[in-house]
Structure 1
Amino acid sequence: MAQGFSAALAGEVRARRAVLRLTQHDLAQLAGVSERFVRFVEQGKPSVQLDSLVAVLETLGLELKVAARTSQAARAAGQPAENSAEQ
């Protein structure tokens, strides 16, 4: 699942950077991170530093949101699904 998230994030960052006509170097300088870091994000590297990632996303006008969802762990703990109707 983490790989799916990393790949989706990578695609969004690449696409937004292209729309803004920024090079990886430009983005790195504007965000205050290394060009290597930008490459890692765009390659979907699953382990990146969160504060640096947030700086890149903010520079591109993107945001990272965290939302509750039913996970395997929640189901195992007997918690109801987020979207299930109560009776």
Structure 2
Amino acid sequence: MTVFYVAQDFVDSTWYLQQNPDLAAAVQANSDWTDRIAATHYALYGAAEQRAPNSWFDATYYQTQNSDLHYLAPHQLLAHFTQHGRGACA
């Protein structure tokens, strides 16, 4: 699953959990899996809920600045950014 692997590389698990305390309790019980849990949550739910994967990527901004990406689902925007648009997001 490409989206998951891209997310795992670009989701800052520490930052993501600080911004989403509702997930922190679940992750504390599985601290060895922190990176995987944060990335999986982002790929499956967080992107659609407009949660940011890290402090520097804003999916809404990225899609707005690249109107040709209107067809992409929220979870696909980070994958697109990592593969094609690294300089496009401020």
Same fold (TM over 0.5): no
Choose 1 or 2 for highest CA Rg: 1
Q: Which structure ranks higher in relative contact order (CA pairs < 8 Å, sequence separation ≥ 6)?
A: 2
Higher helix share: 2
TM-score of the superposition, structure 1-length normalised? 0.38
